[in-house]
Amino acid sequence: MATRGTPITADLVKSALEGKRFNIADSLLAGALLISLFSSLFVLITLLADTLRTALPVFAERGMDFVTSSLSADPSKAGVVQGVLGSLALTGFVVAVGFPLGVSAAIYLEEYAEDNWFTRLITANVRNLAGVPSVVYGILGLALFVNLLGGLTNGRTVVSGGLTLTVVVLPIMIITTSEALRAVPETVREASYGVGATKWETIRHHVLPIALPTILTGTVLTVARAFGESAPLLLAGALVTNFFQPSADASVVQLITDERYTALPLVVFNWARQPQQEFVQLTAAAVVVLLVLLLSVNATTILLRDRFETKSQR
């Protein structure tokens, strides 16, 4: 600041410290970031607003009837009930099968497996699998669950579809759970071992409770993804049609294990292709239902996560 020998005075210090230096680069960058944020939000909001506007007449006219009606070639009667039920069933399947499998696999990889070349190979491949286009899993689902294991799954049922979707999301579940487990500080494990706990006791009472909120956040994202998948379902045998009537007196179990099915994204896909003008509005309405369902499923998972977060305190 001052050259050697110059006495340091208050004035000198003042002039060195004061005076806002205007940094052009900083301000420009901040401005650019803000603009990109607003433009992405703007696009999103515009899309949503447009969809809502298009869908509004359908709900104004038919209300909840739209949600409870079956598919039909007649636009005035067509509803999304099979799509809703199908999507919910598939998502439920993914959570019921994918969640335990993914978490268990991650626990094994992180806590039990030795750090050798084999483990590292598996971990690397899980990451690769997460990046595979989901349509490939559709082909896998068709070959494995529909054809090869057709005896068990009864072919093109929700079971096959659910298993296919599970395989799609399993790599992400494993990865996010692994990250969550890795984020648990080693000091917690040390403390647990220090008082004479076994590895499983340590995982069950300390590691998992701490990692659970993060795991559940990962689950939210996974579930959202599964909800919106269409390509693998297409290949695995979900229906894309207007003519779909499940047997009138089938029980719930039979519906799942014996009958054909569809999902909301596929309904949207189908209606978007219909030539009739009315189907434009119906498509928008279906999209709205899809979004509402998605938000509800997410909200439920987030609520669960928050409940576990406070529970782990005790």
Partner 1 sequence: MRRNRNDEIANDEIAHNEIATDELATMTSRMSAHGLSDSMDPQPAGLVDPATGILVAEDLTVHYGSFPAVRDVSMAIQPNQITALIGPSGCGKSTMLRCFNRMNDLIGTATVTGRLTYHGVDLYSPEVDPVQVRRHIGMVFQKPNPFPKSIYANIAFGARIAGIKQGLDELVEESLTKAALWEEVKDKLHESANALSGGQQQRLCIARAIATSPDVVLMDEPASALDPIATLRIEELMTELKKEYTIIVVTHNMQQAARVSDRTAFFNVAISDDGHRTGRLVEFDDTTTIFTNPREKSTEDYITGRFG
Contacts with partner 1, residue ranges (CB under 8 A): 114-115, 185, 187-188, 190-198, 201, 205-206, 210, 312-314
Closest separation between CB of residue 309 and partner 1, Å? 10
Give the nearer residue to partner 1 in terms of CB position, either 31 or 185. 185
Question: Other C-beta atoms within 10 Å of 39: how many?
Answer: 10
Beta-carbon contacts of residue 223 (< 8 Å; ≥ 6 apart): 91, 94, 95, 297, 298, 301
Closest separation between CB of residue 206 and partner 1, Å? 6
Q: Report DSSP letters for 38-90, one per residue.
A: HHHHHHHHHHHHHHHHHHHHHHHHHTTHHHHSPP-SSTTT---HHHHHHHHHH
Closest separation between CB of residue 102 and partner 1, Å? 24
Q: Which of 97, 54, 314 is nearest to 226 (CA)?
A: 97
Give the nearer residue to partner 1 in terms of CB position, either 127 or 206. 206
Beta-carbon contacts of residue 287 (< 8 Å; ≥ 6 apart): 51, 55, 268
Give the nearer residue to partner 1 in terms of CB position, either 118 or 193. 193
Give the nearer residue to partner 1 in terms of CB position, either 11 or 114. 114
Give the nearer residue to partner 1 in terms of CB position, either 36 or 198. 198
Closest separation between CB of residue 288 and partner 1, Å? 41
The DSSP secondary-structure symbol of 277 reads T
Closest separation between CB of residue 110 and partner 1, Å? 14
The answer to whether 160 and 153 are in contact (CB under 8 A) is yes
Q: How far apart are CA 179 and CA 106, in angstroms?
A: 9
